[in-house]
Structure formats: C-alpha cells, structure tokens
Amino acid sequence: MRLQKLLTIIIPQHSENELGIFKLLSSINNQVGIDFSTVNIMIIGDGGYQLKTSFFKHFNNLDIEYIYYKNAHGPGYARQYGLERTHSKYLAYMDADDVLNTVNALWKFVNLIKNTGDHQVIFSRYIEEHQSDEKGENSYTVREFNPSAAYGKWINVQYIREHKFCWHPELKRAYEDTFFLDLIITFADDIYYLDSPTYTWLYHSGSIVRSMTDYNKACLDQYVRENRFWAQEISRRAPQRLFFDINNGLTNIYNFYVLHPPLKEIKNKFLREVKLYLTENIADINLSYAVQLLKKNYPQENEQGFTEFWTKQLRGLSDNIWSTKVPKIEKDLTIVVPFGGTRLNELYNLMSSIDFQINFDLQRLEVMIVNDGGPITEAAELQKYFPKLDIHWINQSERSGPGPARSSGLKAAQGKYVMFCDADDQLHTVDSLYLMQLEVQREPAAQIIMAKYVNEQLDNDGKRVLAEWNYNFGAVYPSWFRIDFLRSYAIDFHPKIHSYYEDTFFCGLAFRVARRTVFSERKIYTHCLNPNSLIHKKIELKQREFLIEYCKENYYWFKEAKQRFPEQVSADLNNFAIDLYYMYTSYAISTATLEAELKEITHKIVKENTIYWHGWNSDLQKAADNKGEGDAKRISSSGLNEFIKTFMQPEEVSEF
C-alpha cells in the first residue's frame, strides 16, 4: 500500500523550458527543516514545451513526477488533473515561473501543523515582484492574504474531495483560480492565516496576467462568466445565500466595468455573458437591494450610473427589478415523500401522523410530495383535509423510482433539516418531531440526527407484529439531515439508482463525511408492512433483484468513492466482495442468466478499480471468516476464493 505523503506541490507548465522552471525547482530543492520523503512534486505539462526528464536529476532532494499531454487546456485544467492524481494529505499550487521566497517556506507550514494540528486551509502572505525601473532594478511588495490566487496556500486534500470541489472546466485561462478558491474558502470552517510570506510572485512580461496592457479589460467577459458559474454552484450548494450573491455580483461586475471597460474586440462577448447572467438569475435580481450593496462595497461608485447600466441591460427581462422580496417563514424541517400511487387516500395515514404532531410548530414545517409519474397532478384535495400543513406538490412526468424522486424534493426543500418518509409509513408517536427538535436544541450544529424506529413485519404464524429496530445506516427514514450540510458536500441520491439501495448510496456518503452525528434513543418512525411494496415481491424475484441492484449500487459507489475517499476504496472493495459472496450463497438461486448478469457488473467494477483491488488473500479470507451476522449466518466462508475467481477476475466487459 502506498504511504500517504504530507504534501503534493502541483505545478502547471506550458511554455516554460528547463531554464524557466529552474528557479522554482531550485527554491524547493533548497528548503531546510523539511523531510523531503514526505513531499511529492507533480509537474503537469499542459501541451506546449515538453521538458526533458533528464533535467530533473539536478534536484536530488525532490521526488518529481512529470505528466505531459499534447493538447493544451489551460492552468485550471492542469491543476484539476494534478488534484485527481494526488495521494497526499495536503496540496499546494505553484506557478512554474515563481519561487518560494525563503529556504524555510515549507517548514513554516509543517511547523504550524505540528503546533496547531491539521486545518482545511492554511493561507500565507506572499511577495509581489514589480517590473524593473529604468535602472533595471526590481521593487517588491509584501501582500496580504490573497483569496483569489492559488499560490501561497496549503489545502487539505480530504476537505477538497469530500466536498467534490473542482476547477471549472469552462474557465480555462482567466479567473479559474477565483472560482476554485471561492469554493474552498466559502465552505471552510477551519482556515488558518500564517502571518508570514512564503511565496514570491515573480514579474514576467510574457505571463498571462502581465502580457496584456490591462488583463481585466481583455478578460472582462470571463469575469462575468466566472460570476455566472459561481451563481450556478451556489444554487446547488447554498441556495440560502443566492439572493445576496447574485445582487452582490451586480455590484462587482459594474465596478469592474467602470474600472476596466472591455476592449473593443471582446465587448460583444462581455454583453452576451451579462445577458446570460441576468437571464439565469432574473428571479433573484433586485436593484433596490443591489444599490444598498453598492453603497457598502463601493461607496465611490455613482449610484445613478449603476442603476442606468443595469436597467438598460435588464430591459425586456423583468418588470419587477425594483420589488422587494417578501421574506418567507423560515422552515425548521422539510419532509420529502416520494409518491407513485394512484389515489390520494394512500397518503392519508402518513399525512395524519404528521398533522397530529404536538409541541411542534407546523408553520415551520413543509411537506414536499413528489408525484413519481403517477396520475395525480395536484394536491388541492389533500390540502383541504390537512389545512394546517404547508403541502407542496412536485410532478415528475415519468416514473423514476424513490431515489430520483427524493432528489427532486431535496432540491426544492427550504427547511433547515430534511426528513425522508415513505408514503405508506407513519411517524411513530404524536411527539416524534418534537423529540427530534429537542436533539437539535441540544446539539445545534448536528449534521445528522439519527433515531430508532419500529418495523411492522410478519411473525412465524403470519401475524403482523411490531419489532423495535436500532439505528439503520442504510435507510434514510429515521433520520434528520441538515440541508446546508448535504448541499455544501454535494450529497444527493444517484440518478441511476432507482428503486433498491438508493438510500444505501445516499446514507453511505452522508455518514462518511459527517463530523457531527447525534444518536437519539427515541423511536420516531414506523416502517409499515405493505404487501404491494417493492421489498415484498415474491422472494426469489426479490432476491434476484437485490443481487443485481446491490452490484449496480456498488458500481456507482466506487465511482464516487474514487473522487471523495480514494484511500478507503480498497477496504470498500474487500467488504463488497465478502458481502456479495454471502448474499449470493445464502440466496442459493444461481442460474446461468443471473451469473452472467452479475459477472457483467462485478467484472466492470474490478476493471475500473484495478489499482485498489488485490484479489483473494489471507487477510480477506480472515475477514470473511470473522463475519457472523446478516447473510453470513450459518454460511461457510470456505467458498470465497472460488467465488472471487468467478466474479472478481474480469475478462473484457462492455457497458451494462
């Protein structure tokens, strides 16, 4: 197993030759107080000049990995390429034509971590070199912490991956670092500011920024585009701040426009991007509010000029640009209910159990019912029977299954927390919501609150009985999930996992990244027995579907895990192999057709994860021997090796 290094330094390189990058590599090679075995240098050759690998022998302290591809895509793409291949705890971005400014620059970060512990982001000051004067002498300025530049920072790789932060592929050579760094900073709750310069931004007349008379004039269209992509990202991750960000964007764009009016050759591109920004965000634009922000952000700017500029650009798009948004009543909870039924009375038991809740302000609750391709398209009659409830009805024209339906409800949710209920279930007691709200009051920062539940099932005589169940980490219904947590980490139901294990995928992501999970001892939910539900099909048919869908869910899980938790993929593959073996063996429904379907998926899983999968070995066998619960009860582990030879040693596979 590869040992994790402390730091990867990612360096995009395009036109710089050996002499051009020599200063940077020398400044790293000459560092003192640093264990070089913990540092990896990753140079990403983004087309252009290809460095000679023999050149790297001059830097005997450095572990240099050089990756070159022919077609240039820009520094943002190169930095993302390096990020995806990083195996260290931290990463730092450096430009190929800059330098570390002292011989102990890296030691400052290492010493900080030693004394204060790990952080999500560590900022440092930097030094800017200016153009030489008539005497050929350069001047230098110590700059403050720059939130829009990639250099002078160490960023925790786990923090990046768990949130799925990426360099935007459409921002190629301008403001790409502004977008990425804004994401990093906005959602971080642990930023440390190192009050010392560690990096020097050298002056080069041929660099992207300095080669233009006015970089911002030449790239103003790209600045507006970055604001567009930012609004799109915030609408997914933090919609509660979208109104502010969009109107604040109006002030920033106008200020840039006044200070750096676009060059003639890009003016039409600039106006096109402005029109797209306004069209995409028209519902949240309010010039009265934007003027207030302008006075605060840029008091020197002319208010009349600002309103005239935006009124002209908004002409024909909206008649309500001066209206004030009516604030909605804040919701504490959204209950999302996927519903594929044909009659509204199929919802009555669940809705009644919500309507009967005591000690909970129902005005601060919304119920989001997602019609999953059913014939009922509105909820007027349901609202008539439950007038106290704020019921929202979302129509999906085609049936997609409970996973995608829950995703639609989650996207529309306005509550602080979200709870997922099945249409044929009920809240367990009249104070279920109150009991969960007490947990929120005790732990306001809780990201997940997990409760126990009751399962209605058949006993040996075929009679309905209630069985108490403890915490179920593969089901969504007994838990409250904090919505800003889910959105900031981009946690959602997978669009291709429809009816089985869709909540396993969702919960797997949520519980793995959550830092604050509260476990309630109370039972707040009843999972009711419904003979017509998906999980109550004929036993052989159900087990066959379980096996296939379990493999598909893991296929998509490993795609996600490689991005978010690559260090855990090997262990996840081992667990998958063991669990699938016991499921397959205990069900005992093997047919040639089933075996072929399973092999198509499992072989694809192994083929796409070859660097993580080590096949059968004594440790894997020992783990299987020690598993004695669930499907492993009364099943021998002796057949695991042969099972792996059949299902986890792929031949050529195709898309399923």
Question: Residue 111's domain spans which residues?
Answer: 5-211
DSSP letters, 85-117, are T--EEEEEE--TT-EESSTTHHHHHHHHHHHH-
Q: Does residue 653 surpass a pLDDT of 50?
A: no
* pLDDT at site 449: 98
- pLDDT at residue 532 in the model: 65
Give the model's pLDDT for residue 402.
93
Same domain, 386 and 404: yes
Cα–Cα distance, 39 to 63 (Å, whole number): 7
Give the pLDDT confidence score for residue 326 in this predicted structure.
57
In the block, tokens 């999980």 appear at 535
Indicate the number of domains in the chain: 4
- What is the DSSP-derived secondary structure letter of residue 329? P
Q: What is the pLDDT of residue 378?
A: 79
Q: Tell me: do 192 and 266 sit in the same domain.
A: no
Q: Measuring CA to CA, which residue among 127, 116, 128, 123 is closest to residue 145?
A: 123
What percentage of residues in the chain have a pLDDT greater than 70?
A: 94
Q: Are residues 259 and 400 in the same domain?
A: no
pLDDT at site 164: 96
For residue 379, the model assigns a pLDDT of 78
Short-list 287, 217, 301, CA closest to 246: 287
CA angle 352, 357, 363 (to 5 degrees): 100
Give the span between the Cα atoms of 331 and 413, in whole angstroms.
9
Give me the mean pLDDT over the 350-379 stretch.
93
Quick: pLDDT tens for 184-224: 999 999 999 999 999 999 998 766 555 556 889 999 999 99
What is the structure's pLDDT at 463? 86
Given a cut of 80, is residue 541 above it in pLDDT?
no
pLDDT category of residue 136 using cuts at 50, 70 and 90? confident
> Alpha helix locations (H) across 565-617?
569-587, 592-608
User: Looking at residue 135, what is its pLDDT?
Assistant: 85
Both 345 and 387 in a single domain? Answer: yes
Please check whether residue 326 lies inside any domain of the structure.
no
Read off φ and ψ for residue 528, nearest 5 degrees.
-85, 150
The pLDDT value given to residue 362: 96
As a whole number, mean pLDDT of residues 269-285 equals 95
CB distance 497 to 505 below 8 Å: yes
* Strand-pair category, 479-482 with 448-458: antiparallel
Burial 223-253 (b: 16+ CB within 10 A, else e): bbbbbbbbbebbbebbbeebbebbbbbbbbb
pLDDT digits (tens, 9 = 90+) for 144-191: 888 889 999 999 999 999 999 999 999 988 999 999 999 999 999 999
Residues 454 and 335 in one domain: yes
Residue-wise pLDDT for 34-67, tens only, equals 999 999 999 999 999 999 999 999 999 999 999 9
Residue ending a domain, choose from 211, 242, 273: 211
* Sign of the alpha-carbon dihedral angle for 393, 395, 400, 403: negative
Give CA torsion, residues 10, 560, 172, 144, to 10 deg.
-50
Compute the distance between CA of residue 182 and CA of residue 153 in angstroms, rounded to an integer.
Answer: 13
- CATH code at 188? 3.90.550.10
Residue 323 within a domain: no
Closest CA to 146 of 132, 126, 160: 126
Are the beta carbons of 68 and 45 closer than 8 angstroms? yes
In the 3-class helix/strand/coil scheme, how is 190-236 assigned residue by residue?
Answer: CEEEEEEEEEEECCCCCCCCCCCCCHHHHCHHHHHHHHHHHHHHHHH
Report how far residue 199's alpha carbon sits from residue 94's, in angstroms, rounded to the nearest whole number: 9
Provide the pLDDT confidence category of residue 538 given band limits of 50, 70 and 90.
low
Alpha helix ranges (H) inside 117-203: 157-163, 176-186
Q: Is residue 515 part of a domain?
A: yes
- Domain membership of residue 322 (yes or no) is no
Residue 336 buriedness (CB in 10 A; 0-12 / 13-18 / 19+): buried
Question: Does residue 653 fall inside a structural domain?
Answer: no
- Verify that 30 and 170 share a domain, yes or no: yes
Q: 536, 558, 581: which is the final residue of a domain? A: 536
Tell whether the model's pLDDT for residue 319 goes beyond 90. no
Q: In the structure encoding, which two tokens stand for residue 499, read together? A: 């009816």
Q: Is residue 341 located within the same domain as residue 437? A: yes
Strand partners, 142: 127
Q: Which amino acid would we find at residue 410?
A: L
Within a domain: 587: yes
- Residue 481: predicted pLDDT: 98
Asked whether residue 320 is domain-assigned, the answer is: no
Tokens of 467: 């069985």
342 with 470, same domain: the answer is yes
**121 lies in the same domain as 237:** no
Residue 614 lies in a domain: yes
Same domain, 391 and 431: yes
Q: Rounded CA gap, 615 and 650, in Å? A: 11
List residues bridging with 395 in a β-sheet: 371
User: Per-residue pLDDT tens for 595-617?
Assistant: 999 999 999 999 999 999 999 99
569-587 and 618-625 helices, crossing angle to 10°: 50
pLDDT greater than 70 at residue 2: no
Q: Of 477, 164, 454, nearest to 336 (Cα)?
A: 477
Domain-ending residue, one of 474, 504, 536: 536
Query: Is 36 in the same domain as 137?
Result: yes
- The reply to whether 545 and 518 lie within a common domain is no
Rounded distance between C-alpha atoms, residue 307 and residue 310, angstroms: 5
